[in-house]
Every structure is written in C-alpha cells, then in structure tokens.
A and B are shown apart, each in its own frame.
Chain A
Amino acid sequence: MKKVTNKSLLKVDRLVKHFPITKGIFRKKVGSVKAVDGISFEIKERETLGLVGESGCGKSTTGRLILQLLPATAGKVFFKDHELNSIGSADLRKQRLQMQMIFQDPQDSLNPRMTVGSIISEPMIEHQRLDRLQRHERVEQLLNSVGLDPKVTNRYPHEFSGGQRQRIGIARALALSPDFIVCDEPIAALDVSIQAQVINLLEDLQEEFGLTYLFISHDLSMIRHIASRVAVMYLGRIVELASSQELYSRPVHPYTKALLSAVPLHDPVLEKKRKRIILIGDVPSPANPPSGCHFSTRCPVAENNCFKTAPEWREISSGHNVACHLV
C-alpha cells in the first residue's frame, strides 16, 4: 500500500537529552533527568515510523529533539544531507520548511486570538512571498484537503470541536508542503470516533503528498494500523525496532511482549485465551535509572548480567533490532 523507497530521510545518531536538576539558591546541579539516553534510528522516505512507549519514557522529547525545539545534550540528527544540531539558526529556519509538527493538544496548539486563516497562513508569511490573495487561496485549498469548509477562515479556534481543531493543526503543518512531519500523539486528546477520522486523514495525506511521518503514540493498535515500522521505547532507550508486522507477530524483547499482551483482541475466543504479562513495580525514575539494562528491575526473565551491563543494540534478523541479552 505504501511506496516506501529505501532512501533514508532522517537519521538519528546516539541522541541524548539530559534535563538538569538544580537545587538551592545557587542552582547547583545535583543530577539530571535522562529523558532520552542514546537512541539511534533511521526513517526512510515515505514511511511511517511508530514510536511507542508508556508515558514519561521520552517519546515526545525525541520528537522535539529531532525538530530542534529542544537542544540535544549529545548526539546528532541528520535530515536529508544536513546535520541539524550544528547548522546556524538561519539555515535551520530554511530546513523548517521541510519538517513540521502536529501537536497533541489541539486546544493548546492553536493561538486563541488568531483566526483559522491567520493560523494556517502563518508559515507562509514566515517563509514565502505570497500576496494576500495567493495566501487565501492556499489556505482554502489546505482546509479543503483536511476536510474542513474553506469558508471558515474568519473563525476562531474555540468555535471548533477537538477533531476539527486537530484538522486545523494538520492544515498548518501542511502549509509549506513539508516532506517530514512529527506527529506527537495527535490523537491522544480526541474521542475514539474522531481518532479514526484523523488517522485516515493522515494516511490519505501521506498518500497524496508523499509525506514521511514519525508517529508518536502510546496506542498500540493505532500504531499497528498506521506505522510501517515500529520502535518501542522504555526509559529513554529504544528496546526493539522492527517492521510493524514482524513486531506484532514475533516480539522478542520481554518489554514488547508485555506491552502487546495488554492489547485486547477483536476475536472473543482468542480474547478469552489472551494471557497478560503483568509487570511488577513502577517505571524507575529517569533521574536515577537502573544500571545495566534499564528494564532489568521489572523484567520477568532478567539474569545476573542484565543488572550489570547494558545490552547491545543488535540485529537479530533483517530489519529487526533489539537490545536484550537474552535473545
């Protein structure tokens, strides 16, 4: 269904983000929250990479690091042929033409004092030299392609429902015809009935404009539906990355297995037989992650070695990578 070429569009190399924890009046650094702790992956042109994990594992931070909305502590992000961490702000601004973001909360991501028309045309004002009429035309065209009435340009965000607002956010992200869009939990704040609409819209748009997505979500079934490859994150690290089909049918990492065992099945007969792997304990604090494998404290099959050395990131079969000592 998707024409994924083999050309890589975005490459993330050992990306690290530590947020400092400060204390006292002199703001002495007493530690750091290791939100993203050395992750590497690659996104190919026109594919959708799903990024799943429970809350607080660093998914959104990863998205923001890629778009340079947060400065990375270490590591590199390559977009096309540019290394985004070191290029100057003027060059980065040019690259922003080609990478955009769709935000989680459609309520909060649209300026309440701006009309829909000015929200969607803001990127054009910033980057393109179009006159008022051309901009208006483009706004109407965009509203059309996200399934909204093109006549709503004079209205304000609060006059729309959550799903419609998310469509406005999508239209804004599309305004400059980008190649790459980070979707930061775009459906988490929506009703289930609206979620499907927005997902289908995103798929249609991908088909139409040849978009590449990094799709961040904690909804495993949605990821399965939309993503061609899936990366599973736990406490700042990617533990498993494989094609969607492979990951859902043959998960190898114990964390992935536990996650997938929590997804309800459609078939009531199978659903009755479904055995949940219940993990014991809570996610350790990212300010003080366990030594060795981050998952070792909750892993049902952990061995001595797991507590001491961090597992290597290796390929077990073509395109299926995992970080675990035991596979």
Chain B
Amino acid sequence: MTDIAKFEELSQEAVSKHRSLWGDVWIQFRKHKGALTGVFVFSFITLAVFIGPYIHDIDPSAINFKKRNLGPTLSHPLGTDNIGHDTLAQMLAGGQVSLAVGFLAMMIALILGTMIGILAGFIKSLDGPLMRLTDLFLALPILPLLLVIILLFRDTLRTLYGPEAGIFMLIVFVIGITSWMHTARIVRSDVLGIKEREFVTAAYSIGTRKSRIIFRHILPNILSPIMVSATLGIANAIITESALSFLGLGFPPDFPTWGRLLYDGANFIQITPSRVIWPGLFIALTVLSVNYIGDGLRDALDPRLRGR
C-alpha cells in the first residue's frame, strides 16, 4: 500500500491541477494536425459560403450574354459560364445549399441509424425485426425509390412551403431515411459486444436503469464508428443530392448547388474546365476536412488515446 502511495505522490503534479473533460478533449484535439487543418478548411468554406455573398455581391442568377465563358477577371474571379452566370457567386450560393443538405441529411441518418442499432443490439426481441428492416432498406434500389418518393411528394410540399424550401426539406428527408442502414448495422454489432462487458454487468449490479446504461455506458463506447459514419455520411449526402439534381428531380435547374454546377459544367469541360474544377474541389475539400475533424474528435474523445 505504501508503494502505491509513493507512486501516487510522484504523479501528483499531473493530478492536482483541475482538469475538465472538454478541456482534455481540446488539448488532445489540438495535437492532431490533420484535424486542426480540417477545422481551419471547413470553417473557411463555411464562412466563405455564408458571408461571401455579402462581399462578392453579384446575383448568382443574373444572366449576361455579353460576358459568356470568361476566364478569371477582376469582376468575375472564377470566370463565367455559357450564359454569363458568375461562377463564384454560384459557387457561394450553391455551397450554402450543399452544406446544409449534407449536414442535415447526415444528422437524420445518424440519429436514425444509431437509434435503430442500439435498440436492435440492446433489446433481444427487437433484434430480428429491426435488422430485417435494415436488410430490406439495403436491398431496395435507392435511386428509383428516391425518384418515386420525390415524384409523389414534390408538388404537395411545393405548395405548402414554396418551391425551394419544400424541395429542400424533401431532399434532406429522403437522403436521410435512405442512408442510415450502415450506421445501424455497425452500431448494433458494437452494442452486442459492449453489453456483454463486465462494466455493464457492474452497472446492473449497482441498480442503474436501462436507459442510463445505454447513455452512460454503451453510447460513449461506440462513439468511434458513429463518428466515422457521420463524416462519410456528409460526403454521401452531397453526392446524392447532386445526382438527384442531375436527374432533374432535385432543386430547380436555375437553383445552384455544388452537385448541379459540377454536372452542368461537365458538358463544357473543354471550353471552361474551371466550371468542373471548382465545385469538384470544394466537395472534395469539405468531405476531406470533415473526415479529418471526425478522426481527430474520435481520438480526442477516447481517454486511452489521450495524452499520447
């Protein structure tokens, strides 16, 4: 016992100063160079997209046939397209939509997937039905399903919330409910492993309620796969949205999103390659930075990796 006391004394300085959980997380997060770069790039993109239009105040839908297919000039830093839209203005306006769609759709998929995964893993009688439901969703051909849903509900939502807000909600919802399955499967398998661990039995023996066991003991221990699917989910949602827009079932054609700009620009790749490069670059940068942030956050939230 005395040896331990001595050992404790030696390491006291590390202990005595007050440490808060989020303080620790931040200290560890700062050590992850990739994650810091990710935060920087992602906040730059977000700021540019939401504040940029106030600085570069050309209307993204203004058409100017005299200035078609321009290269970079002072008044049009990224040039113009074949009907004289300003590419930068379109990029900024499209970024707002793409980021919002990506984020919200990812959140819906994440919450749904985590919930279904935890219920399936934790409650034995729900495991079979919920996993078969997941298989069902995985087996459904997603694109035709999306098309049918959008065709069915587009007009109702348009009349209710206006053409843009209506279609925005529809797209976010549709992408969300068709991409939760992988998260659910991964979460379930992790829950199955964690719930047999002795610390969960210990929690039962203490008399901890089931809901608290889920939130206090199981959820924090399955954070890493959730983080990973979250970062991948954003990318997926941005790409799916552009595919929908390309098929003419997403946002109206004059409403820019990164995916839409990419597909529109693809036809003109030989005349103005920058119309493809910029949206592609920004999608890639967003996905990459979110991925790195997720990576850093996952490491920082794991106490075993902290302090290394």
Contact = CB atoms under 8 A, between A and B. Distances in A.
Nearest to A149: B8
Contacts, number: 90
A127 B198 contact: no
Given A108-B199, A109-B198, A112-B221, A123 B304 contact: no
Indicate the size class of the contact surface on chain A. Answer: 35 or more
B197 A108 contact: yes
Given A103-B201, A154-B19, A164-B4, A112 B304 contact: yes
Contact of B303 (A67, A92, A113, A172): A113
B28 to A, nearest CB: 12
B205 A126 contact: no
Interface residues of B, number: 33
B212 interface: yes
Contacts of B212: 126
A183 B205 CA distance: 12
A163 interface: yes
B203 interface: yes
B139 interface: no
A95 B12 CA distance: 38
B204 interface: yes
Interface string B286-308: 00000000000000011110100
Contacts of B208: 122, 126
A69 interface: yes
Q: DSSP class of B's interface residues: helix, strand, loop or mixed?
A: helix
B4 A113 contact: no
A22 interface: no
17 contacts: A69-B201, A100-B205, A109-B201, A111-B199, A113-B221, A113-B303, A122-B206, A122-B208, A123-B206, A126-B206, A126-B207, A127-B207, A149-B8, A152-B15, A163-B4, A172-B202, A197-B1
Interface of B: 1, 4-5, 8-9, 12, 15-16, 18-19, 21, 197-199, 201-209, 212, 216-217, 220-221, 301-304, 306
Interface of A: 64, 67, 69, 92-93, 96-97, 100-101, 103-105, 108-115, 122-123, 126-127, 147-149, 151-152, 154-156, 158, 163-164, 169, 172, 197, 201
Given A154-B18, A156-B304, 16 more contacts: A96-B206, A97-B207, A109-B202, A110-B199, A111-B220, A114-B216, A114-B220, A122-B203, A122-B208, A147-B4, A147-B5, A149-B12, A151-B8, A152-B8, A154-B15, A164-B4
